[in-house]
Structure 1
Amino acid sequence: MLKIICLTAALGAALGTTAHAADLTFDGRQARAEAAAKGSFILHAPKREVRIAAAPMRSQTGSVMFDALFALAQQEMDQDRVDAIRDPAFDEGRPVPCECFQTGARWPYVWTRDVSFAADLALAKLDPKRTRQSLQFKLSAARDGHTPGLFVAQDTGSGGSWPISSDRVVWFLAARHLLDDPAFAEQVWQALQGTLAQDRAMVFDAQMGLYRGETSFLDWREQTYPDWTREDVRFIGDSYALSTNVLHYQALRLAQQMAAQLGDERSEQYKAWADALAVQIDARFWREDMGQYMSYIGEAAHPVPYAKIDLLGLSLGILADVLPAERARRALAGYPMGAAGSPVVWPQEAQQPIYHNRAIWPFVSAYSLRAARKVDDAPRIAAEIRSLMQGAALAGSNMENYELVTQAVHVDEGALSGPVVNSERQLWSVAGYLSMVTEGVFGVQDDGRVQPKLPAELVPELFGKQKRISLESGGKRYVLERPKQVGAGLLVAGKTRTRGATTTVQLVAAPAAASHEVPRADANARAPATPLAPQAKRNGKGWTVAVAAGQVLWQDGVAASASKGQVRVGDDGLQHCLSLTRREGSLESLHSPMVCVGPQQVLRGSRQWQFNAAKAGHVRLRLQYSNPNGPINTGVTAAVKQLAVQCKGQPPQRHTVALPHSVAAQDSTAATFAVPKGRCTVTLEEGFNMSALQHFAHYTGGKGGRDGVLNQAQVQALKMAPVAATEDAR
């Protein structure tokens, strides 16, 4: 509490001055901004001096620091404008002509999620032409000779990219702002059709009503997933992430809208898919005992809740109107927040270095600010504005990320030091800062309306002794007039008048809202260590599993009741899956590796298998395989296959399985089929992976690039287990 009070006082003193210089102090470090000639500034950060040129957009407030940092963000946006991009893994590091936005000082390339989030935050509005060109670079036709259409490229990633990572649909979050260009709008429509159809066939799980795949942006496995995913990402490809499902929901809504405008009958289909997905997102990810939406949940075979939350997923859900209003307000109000800002994930992992773990990411803070405006959360609006300012001022740049407690760009803790990787003028951080000023403070909307939601506590800091503050942007001027009585809570638009290019808004107190104060946990709290896998011992007609004090055994996605330190699992002729968590007070660990008990057949072979079902029911199929075509953390050669099941008297059934990069033989993702009594034949058919896109013909950092399409793995066997009837999507 003391640090928070000191921070507020320091910022208040810094921002409240009307002199030509302003100081900002936090954690023993000080930054100073001063106005210079002709609209320029000098920023004296703790370890550097930054000269900031006069910017095309200009804020005039009671804070020199605020005005200087807004100009800095524009200067860094301009530095991220390039005529060519390059990456060591593409075209052997040679420059590729592209009038694009590069990702940051250390990342001179265009990455799908980075440019898309940056565009959605600010760039699509501020530089639509270059943003379009950046997005177009991530569109691709197939090069396999038989797949028609246009697709969004999923960048290199976990286990060989898509479908282990499946958040490429974030591209449409950006593209929706740029549909005034007819040629680009046609490309968006083509990409929607191709990408959504492919994801529906190969990523969507009808049993759960959700899309599978990794959390968006949180793509360094063991930072947020259990450490046992370090060398086995199969679970990630089988699990379901809040953020990625919200992005699919948004893409479906855009498809619904564009189809309706074009008179395409598929509009109703897209609407039905989106409506159903919204229901599943709320039902599956909400965890009442935490008052939060989980970052991800377990696979269909074992759909356990995970005690991990993330701020981007929550914010995206709020902004998409996919979460019920009361739950949304409760979750955001209760999301942990420290003196320096909001962590991107919670709780933290004690044995992981600082990167996503124990970190603040400015672009996520900007989305949190946007979500807080939507639910009228004044304390979080104020906190995120301060956090964004403070990080940029003390670092002298809009950095990729910061350590959670000190907001430093690096903290030395031996093996846990970090952030492990960091970059100046990171594009989405720059965009987040610009969004904070134009929308978060001045309330300027995409359509030109001015709808401020300014916490009253920021008035002394932003206005100083001035009666008004202003923003000049795109030939227009927006003026906020100081309220006659400051009070508390939010200040919103009162009397608004427009004369020529100037819109003036008188700030007034918003009607008193119901209190949504929710106790917040320590932002830096560490989760208990993840237990080892449960040990199931055969005991008569079933199994006995020892459960130590403080542990919880989960069976088929549900917590089991232990008696005298044991749980009995009966043998009913079906496979059952188990995992353990550890609880310490109100904190809960991530799940142990999953162990399954019960009957299972291992059918040797690599292309076709037969089995006899003793009775009608459901079977879960997995391939046993190895995929040595790339490292665990990158590449584009996750093998994607179709299992085709033909049983007597039934039409053929097909489901997709993914065989990501592996370090040894392991199991693929799973597919569940309804089968009658009798013989069934299973055939392995081809699928589609990212190496099949023309975009990756330029990939020279691994297999599946310049040398051609590669969608192969070494299949050794098919595993077949009878399981309980699949639960219909709720």
Structure 2
Amino acid sequence: MLKMICLTVALGAAMGSTARAADLDFDGRHARAETAAEGGYRLHAPQGEVRVSAQPMRSETGSVLFDALFGLAQQEMDADRVEAIRDPAFNHGKPVPCACFQTGERWPYVWTRDVSFAADLALSRLDPVRTRQSLQFKLSTARDGHTPGLFVAQDTGSGGSWPISSDRVVWFLAARGLLDDAAFADQVWQALQATLAQDREAVFDARIGLYRGETSFLDWREQTYPDWTREDVRFIGESFALSTNVLHYEALRLAEQLAGQRGDARATTYGQWADALARQIDARFWREEAGQYMSYIGEAAHPVPYAKYDLLALSLGVLADVFPADRARRALANYPAVAGGSPVVWPQEAQQPIYHNRGIWPFVSAYSLRAARRLDDAPRIAMEIESLMRGTALAGSNMENYEMRTLAVHVDEGVLSGPVVNSPRQLWSVAGYLSMVLEGVFGVEDDGRIAPKLPVSLVPTLFGEHDRIRLDDGRQQYVLVRPKQLAGELLVAGDIQRDGSTTTVQLVPLHATGATPSPAILRPSAVFAPATPAAPVPRETTAGWQMTVPAGHVLWRDGQTLTPTRGVATIARDGASHCLSLTRREGTLESLHSPMTCIGPQPVLAGDRHWQWTAPTAGRWRARLRYDNPNGPINTGVTAAVKTLVLQCEGQPEQRRPIVMPHSVGEQDSTAVEFELPARACRITLDEGFNMSALTHFAQYNGGKGGSEGVLNQARVSALTLMPVAASTEPRR
């Protein structure tokens, strides 16, 4: 049970009062700000004083603390501007020239997803030249001698990176805001064509209609995936993540746009792919009983719904308009909050340390704020603004992450202590804070529109005794005027007057005719999911397979629940293979799934690259390789082995399927592929594929194999396993 912390934030506690408007109290800690000479501020945080010099942009509100923290975000953005970057795993730690944004004080490099989310939040509008250069650093040609095109680099990651991690398309989310530069727009178009084609071949599952791969940003396996993925990431590469699929959708929409501008006939294809993907995202990730979109679902062979939800995925889906409006409102309103704000995942895992688990990440809070603004969700808007302010004020910096209840940068709990990794002036946190001020409070959009949506509950904090607040962005001034009488939950733009460089907006209450008010944010009493069960152990009998299903457990077969009779489930023989797993339920919370156990025929063919086989019956068969990939640790690298399994049967067209063998801990199974097999002699071979080590970008990589020593795309294969697929098996919709 979570003991809720009494919130004692004093940011102008009473309507119309400016008492202690510069002060903040939370969780027994205190922060305050005061003005200083020459337009600067002094922030008094628990760990000491932080001096903030005058900045190009300035806010003038009823809260000195708010104004000081806006200056601090700009100061930290400037500190993240560098002329060279470095990382021990690249160029042997020596500086690499790049007029870029570095990722943070403790992360002096450029990483694809970090810079992309930061660019999308704020950097593209505030420093387009340096942002563009940062993004260009992540573009690469191939060095394998035969693969044409320009690609976005997937950074080192789980199991040897792409295609286990496949969210590199987040790069296009950032690039779409920088297309006014013609040369860069052409690079974006070239990168879209090559990257999307490669992803369509390697990670798109036509039967499911989704892209495979790890959740975006949530890339520490057992923090959010079942604990058994700690040493086997194969499942992660075969599962389907909501966030990553939304990012693919956004990339397809951008490709449709740019192809249309160029008169390229592929615009229609990209648009059709995006339309179909949006339909599958809504159909496959929605879980009605939870009123939520799931963070990920299981592999095609066993597409189980996972009772894990993540705020970034939900927010990105809302912003991409891939959810029906009623479901979008319901899902965001149902997403839980705790004392510190909105945790990035729900529910939490009791045996995992604090990082993504039990964590609040400011950049995700900023995306949640954007989504809440899209849906006119006043309680969530207010909570995210307050959460961002509290975290920064108490830490004295825009930190990478915080413990969810206390907003502490570190909590000592023995082996569960954390956040495990943290950094001051983290770039996407800085960008998230700037986005909160520019959009979240003043309503200044990227396209120049001004559309404030200010919760009435924040008026005492932001206005104090004043009737107006002001933002000067160095070129334009924006003035918000409060109404004389406050009503409702949300203030929006009424009359807008423009006088030279000054835009004055009269705020008025939102009167949403026929709209359903957003429910209050859910503050749960229970936060930890039940422990994940062990794999099911069915026993073979004359009737088929039987297994006891313990009380409080749910048995899943091929992604569907199987109801036991008096606690015993029976699976009859039908000539096909079936995959089973268990979950445990406690109240409204459900565990992650157990490892999978597959039953039924599973012929094994020994060999490493060539196999001869005749199927006993025609139909659909699933194939996996038994292999060992010792070319890197389970959590990083660029040498996931990507191959093509080729099937050639007598009198039949050739069938080709991508197959992945990520870094392993000993021998394990590869990802699965499926073929339509006739009852004829067939030859199965293994052809070469493409992995991230083939990109020129990684020629300076020295943190593992496949870098400076050359391209490496190998694994030791010992056998091929085949399983017949039931004719009636259809992945869950």
TM-score between the two structures when normalised by the length of structure 2: 0.98
Q: Does the alignment pair 1:192 with 2:195? A: no
Q: 1:240 to 1:5 in 2, by over 3 A?
A: closer
Report the Cα offset of residue 29 of structure 1. Answer: 0.1
Q: Give the equivalent residue in structure 2 for 1:472.
A: 472
Q: Give the equivalent residue in structure 1 for 2:498.
A: 498
Provide the C-alpha distance between the structure 2 equivalents of 1:550 and 1:5, rounded to a whole number of angstroms: 31
Q: Give the equivalent residue in structure 1 for 2:393.
A: 393
Please show how residues 625-664 of structure 1 align to structure 2 within 5 Å: 625-664=627-666
Please show how residues 683-694 of structure 1 align to structure 2 within 5 Å: 683-694=685-696
Q: 1:16 to 1:687 in 2, by over 3 A?
A: farther
- Contact 2:648 2:654 (8 Å CA) reproduced: yes
Q: Give the equivalent residue in structure 2 for 1:146.
A: 146
Provide the C-alpha distance between the structure 2 equivalents of 1:278 and 1:94, rounded to a whole number of angstroms: 44
Q: 1:202 to 1:154 in 2, by over 3 A?
A: same
- Contact 2:530 2:586 (8 Å CA) reproduced: yes
Residue identity matched to 2:408: A
Provide the C-alpha distance between the structure 1 equivalents of 2:84 and 2:249, rounded to a whole number of angstroms: 33
Q: Give the equivalent residue in structure 1 for 2:119.
A: 119
Identity of aligned residues (%): 73
- Contact 1:208 1:727 (8 Å CA) reproduced: no
Q: Does the alignment pair 1:707 with 2:709? A: yes
Q: Give the equivalent residue in structure 1 for 2:582.
A: 580
After superposing the two structures, state which structure 1 stretch, 505-514 or 255-264, moved more. Answer: 505-514
- Contact 1:151 1:195 (8 Å CA) reproduced: yes
Report the Cα offset of residue 13 of structure 1. Answer: 3.6
- Contact 2:337 2:521 (8 Å CA) reproduced: no
Q: 1:21 to 1:372 in 2, by over 3 A?
A: closer
Provide the C-alpha distance between the structure 1 equivalents of 2:576 and 2:232, rounded to a whole number of angstroms: 25
Note the alpha carbon deviations across 1:131-165, whole angstroms, 9 max, x for none. 00000000000000000000000000000000000
Report the Cα offset of residue 19 of structure 1. Answer: 7.2
- Contact 2:240 2:297 (8 Å CA) reproduced: yes
- Contact 2:119 2:431 (8 Å CA) reproduced: yes
Report the Cα offset of residue 6 of structure 1. Answer: 5.0
Report the Cα offset of residue 562 of structure 1. Answer: 1.0
Residue identity matched to 1:691: S
- Contact 1:639 1:660 (8 Å CA) reproduced: yes
Q: Give the equivalent residue in structure 2 for 1:571.
A: 573
Provide the C-alpha distance between the structure 1 equivalents of 2:3 and 2:308, rounded to a whole number of angstroms: 26
Provide the C-alpha distance between the structure 2 equivalents of 1:14 and 1:695, rounded to a whole number of angstroms: 56
Residue identity matched to 2:603: Q
Residue identity matched to 1:458: L
Note the alpha carbon deviations across 1:422-460, whole angstroms, 9 max, x for none. 000000000000000000000001121110000111111
Report the Cα offset of residue 17 of structure 1. Answer: 5.9
Q: 1:55 to 1:370 in 2, by over 3 A?
A: same
**3-state SS of 1:12 partner:** coil
After superposing the two structures, state which structure 1 stretch, 7-16 or 574-583, moved more. Answer: 7-16
Provide the C-alpha distance between the structure 2 equivalents of 1:659 and 1:263, rounded to a whole number of angstroms: 39
Note the alpha carbon deviations across 1:657-696, whole angstroms, 9 max, x for none. 1100001100000001111222221110111000000000
Q: Give the equivalent residue in structure 1 for 2:542.
A: 540
Q: Give the equivalent residue in structure 1 for 2:301.
A: 301
Report the Cα offset of residue 727 of structure 1. Answer: 3.5
Provide the C-alpha distance between the structure 1 equivalents of 2:2 and 2:242, rounded to a whole number of angstroms: 35
Q: 1:622 to 1:84 in 2, by over 3 A?
A: same
Q: Give the equivalent residue in structure 2 for 1:451.
A: 451
- Contact 2:340 2:407 (8 Å CA) reproduced: yes
**3-state SS of 1:303 partner:** coil
Report the Cα offset of residue 516 of structure 1. Answer: 3.0
Provide the C-alpha distance between the structure 1 equivalents of 2:521 and 2:384, rounded to a whole number of angstroms: 18
Note the alpha carbon deviations across 1:592-612, whole angstroms, 9 max, x for none. 000000001110001111221
Report the Cα offset of residue 563 of structure 1. Answer: 1.3
- Contact 1:80 1:427 (8 Å CA) reproduced: yes
Note the alpha carbon deviations across 1:513-561, whole angstroms, 9 max, x for none. 4223167252761000000000010011410011111111100100110
Q: Give the equivalent residue in structure 1 for 2:614.
A: 612
Q: Give the equivalent residue in structure 2 for 1:727.
A: 730
Q: Does the alignment pair 1:356 with 2:359? A: no
Provide the C-alpha distance between the structure 1 equivalents of 2:113 and 2:9, rounded to a whole number of angstroms: 37
Match of 1:598 among 587, 597, 600: 600
**3-state SS of 1:577 partner:** strand
Q: Give the equivalent residue in structure 1 for 2:625.
A: 623
TM-score between the two structures when normalised by the length of structure 1: 0.98
Note the alpha carbon deviations across 1:437-490, whole angstroms, 9 max, x for none. 000000001121110000111111100000100100141000000112112211
Please show how residues 87-102 of structure 1 align to structure 2 within 5 Å: 87-102=87-102
- Contact 1:476 1:501 (8 Å CA) reproduced: yes
Q: Give the equivalent residue in structure 1 for 2:61.
A: 61
Q: 1:633 to 1:506 in 2, by over 3 A?
A: same
Please show how residues 414-433 of structure 1 align to structure 2 within 5 Å: 414-433=414-433
Unpaired stretches in structure 1, ≥5 consecutive residues: none
Report the Cα offset of residue 8 of structure 1. Answer: 5.9
Note the alpha carbon deviations across 1:687-726, whole angstroms, 9 max, x for none. 1000000000010000000000000000001111111246
- Contact 1:20 1:34 (8 Å CA) reproduced: no
Provide the C-alpha distance between the structure 2 equivalents of 1:13 and 1:31, rounded to a whole number of angstroms: 15
- Contact 1:641 1:658 (8 Å CA) reproduced: yes
Q: Give the equivalent residue in structure 1 for 2:379.
A: 379
**3-state SS of 2:466 partner:** coil
Provide the C-alpha distance between the structure 1 equivalents of 2:649 and 2:452, rounded to a whole number of angstroms: 62
Provide the C-alpha distance between the structure 2 equivalents of 1:258 and 1:270, rounded to a whole number of angstroms: 10
Residue identity matched to 2:98: C
**3-state SS of 1:432 partner:** helix
After superposing the two structures, state which structure 1 stretch, 89-98 or 20-29, moved more. Answer: 20-29
Residue identity matched to 1:528: P
- Contact 1:553 1:559 (8 Å CA) reproduced: yes
Q: Does the alignment pair 1:325 with 2:328? A: no
Q: Does the alignment pair 1:665 with 2:667? A: yes
Residue identity matched to 1:636: V
Please show how residues 15-34 of structure 1 align to structure 2 within 5 Å: 18=18, 22-34=22-34
Please show how residues 232-381 of structure 1 align to structure 2 within 5 Å: 232-381=232-381
Report the Cα offset of residue 55 of structure 1. Answer: 0.7
Provide the C-alpha distance between the structure 2 equivalents of 1:588 and 1:728, rounded to a whole number of angstroms: 21
Aligned residue pair count? 730
Residue identity matched to 1:432: G
Provide the C-alpha distance between the structure 1 equivalents of 2:227 and 2:592, rounded to a whole number of angstroms: 9
Report the Cα offset of residue 12 of structure 1. Answer: 3.2
Q: Give the equivalent residue in structure 1 for 2:35.
A: 35
Q: 1:2 to 1:462 in 2, by over 3 A?
A: farther
Provide the C-alpha distance between the structure 1 equivalents of 2:346 and 2:287, rounded to a whole number of angstroms: 14
Q: Give the equivalent residue in structure 1 for 2:75.
A: 75
Q: 1:16 to 1:47 in 2, by over 3 A?
A: farther
After superposing the two structures, state which structure 1 stretch, 720-729 or 648-657, moved more. Answer: 720-729
Note the alpha carbon deviations across 1:55-107, whole angstroms, 9 max, x for none. 10000000000000000000000000000000000000000000000000000
Residue identity matched to 1:164: I
- Contact 2:559 2:731 (8 Å CA) reproduced: no
Provide the C-alpha distance between the structure 1 equivalents of 2:637 and 2:358, rounded to a whole number of angstroms: 27
- Contact 2:645 2:686 (8 Å CA) reproduced: yes
Q: Give the equivalent residue in structure 1 for 2:522.
A: 520
Provide the C-alpha distance between the structure 2 equivalents of 1:653 and 1:302, rounded to a whole number of angstroms: 23
After superposing the two structures, state which structure 1 stretch, 423-432 or 521-530, moved more. Answer: 521-530
Q: Give the equivalent residue in structure 1 for 2:85.
A: 85
Report the Cα offset of residue 7 of structure 1. Answer: 2.6
Report the Cα offset of residue 11 of structure 1. Answer: 2.9
Report the Cα offset of residue 3 of structure 1. Answer: 9.3
Provide the C-alpha distance between the structure 1 equivalents of 2:510 and 2:702, rounded to a whole number of angstroms: 56
**3-state SS of 2:12 partner:** helix
Please show how residues 120-135 of structure 1 align to structure 2 within 5 Å: 120-135=120-135
Q: Give the equivalent residue in structure 1 for 2:411.
A: 411
| Cα RMSD after superposing both structures | 1.6
